[in-house]
RNA sequence: GCGGGUGUCGCCAAGCGGUCAAGGCCCCGGAUUGUGGUUCCGGUAUACGUGGGUUCGAUUCCCAUCAUCCGCCCCA
C-alpha cells in the first residue's frame, strides 16, 4: 500500500552487543529442540523449575566461586536500594537457592529438576559465545549414587542421539571430594615442584592459587609436563579416595553396559568451583574454539554451602546456541489448509472445525482477490485450499483443492471432516 | 581486556578514485477484479555503517569510531 522506506539510520537502536533476535525459521528450530529436550526429561520424571533471571550477587559469589572468571569479570551486576543484584551467569546457583528456600530437602528424594532460559556473561562475543545465551540444564538432588550420575549423563546423550548431533565426544573424570582435593594439592605440588620453573607464567600462578586448574592449561610445554607417566598415574588413581574411585568405577560400568561411548580424561577439571567426584563434558569438533555443548558434574557440597541441608547433587547444563549449530535441517512444517474466501464468518467456522480435528489451518485475512489468496496459499506451501465464496455459502458447500495435483471438488464441511478424521486426531 | 578479518537495499552480491550505485532473491503492484505454484511487465537505496581527512573529485585511499565475525583468555 504505502511505501515507507524510513531511512532514519541515525535513530536506529541496535540490540546490545552479544545478543540475538531469534525469529523466522530460527525460532522454529529453537522450539523444536526445546520441546524435544523437555520431553526427554519429563519422560524420566524431571520437573521444570523457573527461577529469577537475577539474584543476589552474593549467591553467585558463594555458589559459583569467588575464584572463577565468571564472578570475577563476567557478571552483569547492578545496585538497587542497597541491594547488589546480578543477572544470572549460570543456572545451578539459582536452582540450588530455590531448593533451599522452598524446602525441597523435605521433598521425596531424589528431586529431579530441569530448567531452560537465558544466562548472561559479559565476555567478548565469538563463535559459540554470546553475552546473552541460553542454557537447558538438569539438576538431581538428594542422591550420591553412581546411578544418579549415570542417569543425568544418559539423559543428555540420548537427547543428542535423537537430535543426531555429529562428532560428539563424552569426556568424564573423577576429581574427588574436598578432602581428595587437599591430597591433590599437596601431592601435585610436590610432584611438580622440581619442574616449576619450566611452567608457563599462568601455571606458576595457579600453582599457588588453584593447582587443579593447571591441568587445563593450553600451553604445549605445560601439557607435556602434565602428560608424564608419573603425573598421569597420580591424576588417575593416587589422589582420590577409595570411595571416590569405587563410585567412578561403578559409573563407568553402567555407561559401558548402556553402550554409551565415553573417554576418561584425567585433565578435565571444569572451571566452576563447586564440583566433586564426577565431572564430564560433551564436546563436538563441529563447533570451533568453543567446543563444549554440555558440561556438568556432581556437587555434593553446594547445597550446604548455600545454607541448606546436607544434600548431594549432580547436574549439567547445555548451551542452546551451540546445540542449535549442531542440529541439522528440520522437516518443514506443513500447512494443511489455507482458506480462500470473501466470507470471513464462514471461513473462520470452517477453520475452527478443522483445527479442532488437529489440523494446521490459516485463514486469509487480506481481503484481496481469490487469485492473490491462492498465491499466498501456494507461497505458504499449503497442502489444500478451501474456497468459500458467496455461491458456496448459499448452497452450503465448500470447494476443496489439492494444491499439488490441482484437483478440486465441491463438498461439505461435514463430509470433509468425516473423511479426514481417521487420518489425524489432535 | 588483547590480536586479526569484514561493513554497498530485508538477504546474497558487483563496482575498488571520475554520471556508479549492476545483478539475483525476497517484498509490492499489474497482465489475471472466484483459483495459485510457470511466465511476462513494472516498483522499491536523496546513496555505499558513522564521523573526520587526503583529492579538482571518493562507495572506492587514510584515520577514528561503531557494529559484526574469527582467535586468545574462559566457558555453555
Domain match, A248 and A137 both? yes
Domain match, A151 and A109 both? yes
User: CA-CA distance, A252 to A255, in Å (whole number)?
Assistant: 5
| A315 beta partners | A139, A297
A156 is a domain residue: yes
Q: A99 with A311: CB under 8 angstroms? A: yes
Range A226-232 average pLDDT = 87
Give me the CATH number covering residue A362.
3.40.50.800
- A204 Cβ neighbours under 8 A, 6+ residues apart: A196
The nt closest to A281 (CA vs C1′) is B76
- A123 Cβ neighbours under 8 A, 6+ residues apart: A18, A74, A129, A131
Domain match, A365 and A304 both? no
A273 is a domain residue: yes
Domain match, A390 and A256 both? no
Q: Which nucleotides of B are covered by protein (CB under 7 A)?
A: 1-3, 27-30, 32-37, 43-47, 49-50, 67-76
Domain match, A71 and A138 both? yes
Domain match, A108 and A135 both? yes
User: Which backbone phi and psi does A287 adopt, to 5 degrees?
Assistant: -105, -20
User: Which backbone phi and psi does A69 adopt, to 5 degrees?
Assistant: -60, -35
A20 is a domain residue: no
Q: Which residue has the cell 464462514?
A: A346
- A424 pLDDT band (50/70/90 cuts)? low
| A126 beta partners | A129
Domain match, A267 and A348 both? no
The CA-to-CA distance between both ends of chain A, in Å, stands at 39
A244 is a domain residue: yes
ipTM of this predicted complex?
0.85
Distances (CA, A) of A166 to A119, A260, A290: 25, 15, 15
A153 is a domain residue: yes
Each as own residue / partner, the long-range contacts of residues A222-227 (CB below 8 Å, 24 or more positions apart, any chain) are: A225/A192, A225/A195, A225/A198, A225/A199, A226/A267
Q: Which of A291, A326, A361 is the last residue of a domain?
A: A326
What secondary structure letter does DSSP report for A423?
G
Encode A271-322 in three state secondary structure: CCCCCEEEEEEEEECCCCCCCEEEEEEECCCHHHHCCCCCCCEEEEEEEHHH
* Residues 269-288 of chain A in contact with strand B via CB under 7 angstroms: 270-272, 281, 288
Give me the CATH number covering residue A149.
3.30.930.10
Pick the range with the lowest mean pLDDT from A182-191, A216-225, A397-406. Answer: A216-225
Q: How far is the CA of A321 from the C1' of B51 (A)?
A: 35
- Give residue A53's domain range: 25-177+240-326
- A11 pLDDT band (50/70/90 cuts)? low
Q: Which of A305, A326, A347 is the last residue of a domain?
A: A326
Q: What angle do CA A140, A142, A148 make, to 5 degrees?
A: 50
Question: Residue A403: in which H helix or E strand, if any?
Answer: none
Count the Cβ atoms, other than its own, within 10 Å of residue A399: 16
Residue nearest to nucleotide B32 (CA to C1'): A371
User: Which backbone phi and psi does A184 adopt, to 5 degrees?
Assistant: -60, -50
A203 is a domain residue: no
The nt closest to A128 (CA vs C1′) is B76
Domain match, A308 and A345 both? no
User: CA-CA distance, A292 to A333, in Å (whole number)?
Assistant: 30
Q: How far is the CA of A35 from the C1' of B7 (A)?
A: 37
The pLDDT of residue A12 is above 80? no
pLDDT tens digit string along A39-81? Answer: 999 999 999 999 999 999 999 999 888 878 888 889 999 998 8
Range A196-223 average pLDDT = 81
CB of A55 nearer than 7 A to strand B: no
A202 is a domain residue: no
pLDDT tens digit string along A352-392? Answer: 999 999 999 999 998 889 999 999 999 998 999 999 999 99
Number of domains in chain A: 2
Domain match, A34 and A55 both? yes
What secondary structure letter does DSSP report for A381?
T
- Mean pLDDT, all residues of chain A: 89
Q: How far is the CA of A75 from the C1' of B1 (A)?
A: 15
Domain match, A249 and A310 both? yes
Q: Which residue has the cell 571416590?
A: A244
Which candidate, A330, A342, A333, places its Cα nearest to that of A361?
Answer: A333
Q: A320 with A210: CB under 8 angstroms? A: no
Q: Which of A326, A351, A380 is the last residue of a domain?
A: A326
* Residues 72-91 of chain A in contact with strand B via CB under 7 angstroms: 90
pLDDT tens digit string along A132-142? Answer: 999 999 999 99
A305 is a domain residue: yes
pLDDT tens digit string along A253-300? Answer: 999 999 999 999 988 887 677 889 999 999 998 887 888 999 999 999
Task: Tell me the pTM.
Answer: 0.89
Domain match, A270 and A401 both? no
Domain match, A135 and A170 both? yes
Q: How far is the CA of A311 from the C1' of B23 (A)?
A: 66
Q: A87 with A132: CB under 8 angstroms? A: no
Residue nearest to nucleotide B76 (CA to C1'): A319
- A102 Cβ neighbours under 8 A, 6+ residues apart: none
The per-residue b/e assignment along A320-354, b for 16 or more CB within 10 angstroms, e otherwise, is: bbbbbbbbeeeeeeebbbbbbbbbeebbeebbeeb
C-alpha cell at A226: 602434565
Question: Residue A233: in which H helix or E strand, if any?
Answer: helix A229-233
Amino acid at each position: 500500500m504505502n511505501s515507507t522506506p524510513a531511512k532514519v539510520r541515525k535513530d536506529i537502536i541496535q540490540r546490545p552487543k552479544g545478543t540475538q533476535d531469534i525469529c523466522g525459521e530460527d525460532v522454529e528450530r529453537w522450539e523444536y529442540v526445546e520441546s524435544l529436550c523437555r520431553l526427554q526429561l519429563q519422560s524420566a520424571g524431571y520437573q521444570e523449575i523457573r527461577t529469577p533471571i537475577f539474584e543476589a550477587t552474593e549467591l553467585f559469589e558463594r555458589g559459583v566461586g569467588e575464584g572463577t572468571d565468571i564472578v570475577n569479570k563476567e557478571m552483569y551486576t547492578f545496585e538497587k536500594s542497597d541491594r547488589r543484584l546480578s543477572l544470572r551467569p549460570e543456572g545451578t546457583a539459582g536452582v540450588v537457592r530455590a531448593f533451599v528456600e522452598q524446602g525441597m530437602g523435605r521433598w521425596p528424594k531424589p528431586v529431579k529438576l530441569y530448567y531452560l532460559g537465558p544466562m548472561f556473561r559479559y565476555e567478548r562475543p565469538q563463535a559459540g559465545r554470546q553475552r546473552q545465551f541460553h542454557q537447558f540444564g538438569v539438576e538431581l538432588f538428594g542422591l550420591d549414587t553412581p546411578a544418579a550420575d549415570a542417569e543425568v549423563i544418559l539423559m543428555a546423550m540420548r537427547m543428542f542421539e535423537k537430535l543426531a548431533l555429529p562428532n560428539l565426544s563424552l569426556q568424564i573424570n573423577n576429581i574427588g571430594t574436598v578432602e581428595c582435593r587437599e591430597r591433590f594439592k599437596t601431592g601435585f605440588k610436590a610432584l611438580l615442584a622440581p619442574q616449576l620453573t619450566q611452567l608457563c607464567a599462568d601455571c606458576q600462578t595457579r600453582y599457588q592459587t588453584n593447582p587443579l586448574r593447571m591441568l587445563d592449561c593450553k600451553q604445549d610445554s605445560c601439557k607435556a609436563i602434565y602428560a608424564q607417566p608419573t603425573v598421569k598415574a597420580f591424576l588417575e588413581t593416587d589422589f582420590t579416595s577409595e570411595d571416590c574411585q569405587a563410585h567412578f568405577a561403578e559409573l563407568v560400568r553402567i555407561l559401558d553396559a548402556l553402550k554409551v561411548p565415553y573417554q576418561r580424561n584425567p585433565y578435565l577439571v571444569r572451571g566452576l568451583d563447586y564440583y566433586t567426584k564426577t565431572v564430564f563434558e560433551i564436546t563436538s569438533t563441529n563447533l570451533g574454539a568453543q567446543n563444549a555443548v554440555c558440561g556438568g558434574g556432581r556437587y555434593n557440597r553446594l547445597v550446604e554451602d548455600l545454607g541448606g541441608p546436607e544434600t548431594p547433587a549432580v547436574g549439567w547444563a547445555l548451551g542452546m546456541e551451540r546445540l542449535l549449530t549442531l542440529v541439522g535441517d528440520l522437516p518443514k512444517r506443513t500447512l494443511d489448509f489455507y482458506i480462500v474466501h470473501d466470507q470471513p464468518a464462514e471461513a473462520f467456522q470452517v477453520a475452527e472445525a478443522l483445527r479442532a480435528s488437529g489440523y494446521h489451518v490459516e485463514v486469509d485475512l487480506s481481503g484481496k482477490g481469490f487469485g492473490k489468496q491462492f498465491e499466498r496459499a501456494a507461497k505458504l506451501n499449503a497442502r489444500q485450499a478451501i474456497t468459500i465464496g458467496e455461491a458456496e455459502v448459499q448452497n452450503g458447500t465448500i470447494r476443496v483443492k489439492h494444491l499439488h495435483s490441482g484437483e478440486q471438488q465441491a463438498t461439505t464441511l461435514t463430509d470433509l471432516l468425516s473423511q479426514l478424521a481417521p487420518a489425524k486426531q489432535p
